[in-house]
Amino acid sequence: MVKLTSVRADQILDSRGNPTVETWVSGGPGEFRAQVPSGASTGKHEALELRDGGMEFGGKGVLRAVSNVNGAISETICGKEFSGLREIDSAMIMRDGTPNKSALGANAILGVSMAAARLISSENGSELFQFLSSFSGRDPVMPVPLLNIINGGVHAGGELAVQEFQIVPSGFVKFSDALRCASEIYQHLKTHLKKKFGPLAVNIGDEGGFAPPVSRTAEALDAITVAISEAGYSPGKEVYLAIDAAASEFYRNGKYRMDGMELEPAELSDHYLSLASKYPLVSIEDPFDEEAFDDFAAFRAAAGKRLQVIGDDLYATNTSRIRLGIEKKSTSAVLIKLNQIGTVSETVDSTLLAIGAGMNTVVSHRSGETADDFIADLAVGTGTGQIKTGAPARGERVVKYNRLLEIERKHPEIGFAGHSVFSR
């Protein structure tokens, strides 16, 4: 049984300088904190992030969400006995009473859920990932990181349509070696971009990746391929490439504007496949608009086993949308974001649903982040085998990678997922 004696929240800033919610919960073992992230290329089907409107912070204040924690949520869960995290989450979901958490705000509910998970794991005398492992019934696994080292789309001020260009150092035995490889490539990419395009080319975007003055997808992939070689690695051996197209952001009136073209879905599919034949791409996220279940399915069929196809905005970590994707065979993987759905229990439900259907899962940060490292434990504990949390740079990104290093150091028995996650 678990009893929370106090639940409170404050307004703090995220990595983009916008307000977000920080939550504290107290109970038996002490006081525990969580900080809530926020997206920019948010999916239409995400749970509602409650913002104040008005003049302060350009309307982005979260004081209403904060007061929902201090008022309604505190009233609902403080001083009562709950059998566990799921019951706490259910009580908040009931109190909210809407399908998308629009009454209290997903940003209000999520912080409490995350902080409560920390409290319960401490009460059990376990680390957060160990609690999440028993909560999900999954064995812990050190995840392959997908590191976003060139930022485009709405995460940067450049002309690249594709939002994220990632390196995937999957050909290692340990997470720490994979991260070292990524860091070396990141530094070589910096040198290469500076030499080729001048010092302005190494300005960075929201997730810590560079935002060079290139406009074509292939140019970004070329630059990364050079950096991989210059760092002494072989593209397609120890390290692979991945992209998050976030295609809803460049979709207008049935066409996708990308690489100087206006493409129909079938043409865009061919374009991706031709990129995949020239570069060692292993994964493509959100290749089409967030409603295009059928275009995803056609692309997945055409790509076969060569490419992992991930749904992010398509699913918004929502079980009913994931069920539709399973039925239509739309993707081979699901992106998992806590704040798209708004509680830890529902996030785990989505993960288990996807895994049960034979899909891969990838735990993800948001472009607006905080120093909270919850997702590192979530990825390990639910054994997803993959995590994406930005470049190996900037505090709010590296805090997650550093927590993963710590878990691996303290628990060398937990194996690294490695490249076999892509052949499942």
Check residue 151 for interaction with ligand PGA (CB under 6 A).
no
Residue (246 or 379) nearer to Zn ion, CB: 246
- Which H, E and C letters describe 71-129, residue by residue? HHHHHHHECCEECCHHHHHHHHHHHHCCCCCCCCCHHHHHHHHHHHHHHHHHHCCCCHH
Shortest spacing between CB 92 and Zn ion, in angstroms: 26
Name the segment binding ligand PGA (CB under 6 A); options: 2-10, 35-43, 50-58, 179-187.
35-43
Active site residue 56: no
Shortest spacing between CB 124 and Zn ion, in angstroms: 33
Check residue 244 for interaction with ligand PGA (CB under 6 A).
yes
Question: Whole-angstrom Cα distance, residue 196 to residue 14?
Answer: 33
Nearest to 310 by CA among 294, 343, 333, 326: 333
Neighbours of 94 (CB within 10 A): 9
Radius of gyration of the chain (CA): 21
- Helix H or strand E segment including 31: strand 30-35
Q: Binding Zn ion by CB under 5 A: which of 249, 312, 396, 408? A: 312
Residue (85 or 310) nearer to Zn ion, CB: 310
Q: Binding Zn ion by CB under 5 A: which of 46, 49, 184, 244? A: 244
Shortest spacing between CB 244 and ligand PGA, in angstroms: 5
Q: Binding ligand PGA by CB under 6 A: which of 364, 370, 386, 389? A: 364
Question: Whole-angstrom Cα distance, residue 250 to residue 161?
Answer: 7
Catalytic choice (46, 164, 184, 207): 207
- Count the residues in the chain: 424
Q: Binding ligand PGA by CB under 6 A: which of 312, 346, 349, 373? A: 312
Shortest spacing between CB 370 and ligand PGA, in angstroms: 13
Question: Whole-angstrom Cα distance, residue 8 to residue 72?
Answer: 11
Question: Whole-angstrom Cα distance, residue 259 to residue 217?
Answer: 7
Which residue in this structure is represented by tokens 């060569």?
306
Check residue 41 for interaction with ligand PGA (CB under 6 A).
yes
Nearest to 33 by CA among 49, 10, 50: 10
Name the segment binding ligand PGA (CB under 6 A); options: 85-93, 189-197, 256-264, 361-369.
361-369
Residue (127 or 312) nearer to ligand PGA, CB: 312
Question: Whole-angstrom Cα distance, residue 97 to residue 31?
Answer: 28
Q: Binding ligand PGA by CB under 6 A: which of 366, 397, 400, 403? A: 366
Nearest to 376 by CA among 420, 409, 352, 354: 409
Check residue 408 for interaction with Zn ion (CB under 5 A).
no
Check residue 209 for interaction with ligand PGA (CB under 6 A).
no
Indicate the angle between helix axes 395-410 and 374-381, nearest 10 degrees. Answer: 40
Question: Whole-angstrom Cα distance, residue 209 to residue 75?
Answer: 42
Active site residue 207: yes
Check residue 351 for interaction with ligand PGA (CB under 6 A).
no
Name the segment binding Zn ion (CB under 5 A); options: 32-40, 83-91, 307-315, 411-419.
307-315
- Binding partner selected for residue 39 from Zn ion, ligand PGA, none, CB under the kind-specific 5 to 8 Å limit: ligand PGA
Catalytic choice (22, 49, 238, 337): 337
Binding residues (CB under 5 A) for Zn ion: these are 244, 246, 312
Give the catalytic positions in this structure. 207, 337
Binding residues (CB under 6 A) for ligand PGA: these are 39-42, 244, 246, 312, 364, 366-367
